[in-house]
Chain A
């Protein structure tokens, strides 16, 4: 067992884990944070996307021990006081989902994308979500949601 200390959604955690425990399993099974999903389990689909020190990563390809000393954010950590994060609100407004399985990953990838590039063009938004697959929507509403979230965020800043 290896001792890890990390911050998850603002809360300090301290655990002894098997080195082979993947971050996604640590989050879902040890901490009960089930927003991030296991989709392809091969670093392709992005359903397991979370933020590691603010950067979007695929938690199926990160060991829990690699996250020790770092900050992890999942979709559960986005909404403060039950209020939707602007990206979540935009996904709801633009109906950027159908079955919802890819949605937590899409939302986290979008939060990461907008942190790097607050005003993406449609093309940049599409390329920025290249690591997230949706098998329902055909992506159009998802991209609308990303652009709406960017607009809402910049309106918030200038207001």
Chain B
């Protein structure tokens, strides 16, 4: 399968990429690792006229600390995120989620900014960002804005990212030593979650239980009110109406959400 024709520019800087985006708007797409975009282009589900390659911008990659937040550059690859000692100490849930994306080859190419802006509701990193209560930095022609995870994901493959904005940074609260849980149910190796659950600090996020990563709000309230893990987990699917496909019907997904939430809460790691 071969993508439709497009023009290609290797961006020289983030500002260069943003200028090109502003100029070409909906006709352009940002390329980093290409592990969400290129498969869509090969299937001709996406036919951008211009690809703006930010994969070579080293200043957009890397992990650092800023006050009480861990800051991850948008083009940081999943393998680097998973291997980072700093991430393992400060936000181990994020590093673990990165280690669960796809397979090794995919983790060598895919980037956190790409995964988040692609916004597949079954993906690992969007769910982790929601559980951690993190945020993304979106940079446009007139400056940057910070959008929280709960507001960033709007629907199926839809985010708050405007067509002239570049996701440059991911920020999550530092959580050293705080217990967390991560559960992902798949039938096949290197597959997306049929249902996924990430939990930390009384927050519970669900993958593939709706058009975007969702909070299990009723279960969170129960936890805050002193309910046990099992009692809270029984409420994990409340208010959700997940989609159906060859892997699972709606009721089975709701069942998985309850079971996986219990496992995530009962088998938390630090």
Contact = CB atoms under 8 A, between A and B. Distances in A.
B104 A113 contact: yes
A57 B8 contact: no
A41 interface: yes
A112 B79 CA distance: 13
B6 A20 contact: yes
Interface stretch (B49-57, B129-137, B167-175, B222-230): B49-57
B104 A56 contact: yes
A19 B105 contact: no
Contact of A46 (B3, B35, B53, B103): B103
A63 B42 contact: no
Interface in B1-56: 1-8, 10, 31, 34-35, 38-39, 41-42, 51, 53, 55-56
Given A69-B56, A130-B190, A19 B7 contact: yes
Query: Which interface class (under 10, 10 to 19, 20 to 34, 35 or more) fits B?
Result: 20 to 34
Contact of A130 (B6, B35, B41, B104): B104
B118 interface: no
B105 A42 contact: no
Query: Which of A41, A58, A62, A66 has most B Cβ within 10 Å?
Result: A66
A26 interface: no
Contacts of A42: 1, 39, 42
Interface in A21-56: 22, 25, 41-44, 46, 49, 52, 55-56
Given A61-B39, A65-B53, A109-B105, A20 B34 contact: no
A90 B211 CA distance: 47
Nearest to A105: B105
Given A57-B109, A65-B8, A19 B103 contact: no
B39 A57 contact: no
Max count, chain B CB within 10 A of own CB: residue among A56, A57, A63, A69: A63
B86 interface: no
B106 interface: yes
Tell me which of A20, A43, A128 has the highest count of chain B C-beta atoms within 10 A of its own C-beta.
A43
Nearest to A131: B103
Contacts of A112: 104-105, 108
A41 B42 contact: yes
Nearest to B191: A44
Contacts of B4: 20
Contacts of B108: 52, 55-57, 112
A20 B109 contact: no
Counting contact residues on chain A (CB < 8 A from B), the size range is 20 to 34
Interface string B46-76: 0000010101100000000000000000000
A33 to B, nearest CB: 18
B102 interface: yes
B106 A58 contact: yes
A76 interface: no
B105 A20 contact: no
B190 A61 contact: no
B189 interface: yes
A11 interface: no
A94 B53 CA distance: 42
Given A19-B51, A20-B3, A41-B42, A2 B8 contact: yes
Interface of B: 1-8, 10, 31, 34-35, 38-39, 41-42, 51, 53, 55-56, 79, 102-106, 108-109, 189-190
Given A20-B3, A65-B53, 11 more contacts: A43-B39, A43-B106, A56-B104, A56-B108, A57-B108, A58-B105, A63-B34, A63-B38, A68-B10, A109-B104, A131-B102
18 contacts: A20-B3, A20-B5, A20-B6, A42-B1, A46-B103, A52-B108, A56-B105, A57-B105, A61-B38, A61-B109, A62-B34, A63-B38, A68-B10, A109-B105, A112-B105, A128-B104, A130-B190, A131-B102
